[in-house]
């Protein structure tokens, strides 16, 4: 079964990246662009074109160049949390999961309360199927924000990865009460029931999924196989 993937951040970045393109002289530290003329010796971090360029590079899949841009910002300001966050995400996006882990951990070393960094940390951990470590991080978010949707979804991914079906059933049932309009929770409810051979509850949950998403491939396939 395919894992639910978190896209919200990516979508947000794509929107952001479509707002404008970099204009004016292009500096050496702006990855993907040529050279030095007309540039100062150091990037002005508050110059919005740095970030616009970075979003553009990301939206066109030029992750390595986008990372290089953040490297330059971090050379100037090693504790720049947003640049670290950007680089972590860009590293994760290009499959450099260990670099992403390093960056997210660096943010957390600077700011242990950073919930977005802790949620970010779960992404490369999930990609590496380090279910227990990702669960620990998701639980740390839940500990201070009890019904954080993203944290709960990522925790359910861990429970599925570890085949903890009873735990997943309890978790998804509780989450469905909190998020009755959410189809993803119903998918996990259905999967956990299906893995426990609980046909009525699996069917019920998949039928709920179809109310949200009538074309849902997994739900339709299950209900076709188990009419």
Contact footprint for another protein (CB under 8 A):
95-99, 128-133, 135-136, 139-140, 142-144, 146-147, 152, 155, 164-167, 170-171, 174, 194-197
Chain centroid offset of residue 42 CA = 31
Closest contact distance (angstroms) between CB of 54 and another protein is 22
Rounded CA-CA distance 4/153 in Å is: 8
Under 8 Å CB-to-CB from 170, ≥6 apart: which residues? none
Find out whether 84 and 60 touch, Cβ atoms under 8 Å.
no
Smallest Cα–Cα separation from 149: which of 124, 168, 176? 176
Instruction: Name the region of 22 (left: φ>0; alpha: ψ -120 to 50; beta: rest).
Output: beta
Rounded CA-CA distance 183/25 in Å is: 47
Chain centroid offset of residue 29 CA = 27
Taking the least distance from each CB to another protein, the nearer of 43 and 120 is: 120
Taking the least distance from each CB to another protein, the nearer of 86 and 152 is: 152
Taking the least distance from each CB to another protein, the nearer of 86 and 191 is: 191
Taking the least distance from each CB to another protein, the nearer of 2 and 34 is: 2
Taking the least distance from each CB to another protein, the nearer of 59 and 173 is: 173
Closest contact distance (angstroms) between CB of 68 and another protein is 18
Closest contact distance (angstroms) between CB of 18 and another protein is 29
Taking the least distance from each CB to another protein, the nearer of 21 and 170 is: 170
Cα angle 79, 20, 35 (rounded to 5 degrees) comes to: 65
Rounded CA-CA distance 194/99 in Å is: 37
When computed from its CA atoms, the radius of gyration of the chain, rounded to whole angstroms, is: 21
Closest contact distance (angstroms) between CB of 146 and another protein is 4
Rounded CA-CA distance 1/188 in Å is: 11
Closest contact distance (angstroms) between CB of 69 and another protein is 21
Taking the least distance from each CB to another protein, the nearer of 96 and 203 is: 96
Closest contact distance (angstroms) between CB of 66 and another protein is 17
Closest contact distance (angstroms) between CB of 177 and another protein is 11
């Amino acid at each position: 079964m395919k894992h639910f993937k978190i896209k919200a951040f990516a979508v947000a970045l794509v929107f952001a990246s479509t707002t404008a393109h970099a204009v004016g002289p292009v500096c050496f530290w702006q990855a993907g662009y040529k050279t030095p003329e007309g540039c100062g010796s150091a990037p002005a971090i508050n110059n919005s074109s740095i970030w616009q360029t970075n979003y553009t590079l990301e939206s066109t899949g030029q992750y390595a160049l986008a990372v290089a841009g953040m490297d330059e910002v971090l050379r100037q300001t090693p504790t720049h949390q947003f640049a670290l966050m950007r680089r972590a995400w860009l590293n994760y996006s290009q499959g450099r999961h260990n670099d992403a882990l390093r960056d997210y951990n660096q943010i957390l070393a600077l700011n242990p309360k950073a919930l977005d960094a802790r949620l970010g940390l779960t992404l490369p951990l999930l990609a590496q199927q380090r279910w227990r470590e990702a669960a620990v991080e998701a639980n740390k978010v839940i500990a201070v924000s009890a019904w954080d949707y993203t944290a709960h979804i990522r925790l359910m991914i861990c429970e599925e990865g570890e085949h903890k079906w009873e735990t997943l059933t309890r978790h998804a049932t509780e989450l469905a009460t909190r998020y009755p309009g959410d189809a993803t929770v119903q998918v996990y409810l259905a999967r956990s029931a299906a893995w426990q051979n609980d046909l009525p509850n699996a069917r019920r949950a998949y039928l709920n999924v179809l109310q949200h998403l009538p074309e849902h491939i997994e739900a339709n396939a299950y209900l076709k196989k188990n009419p």
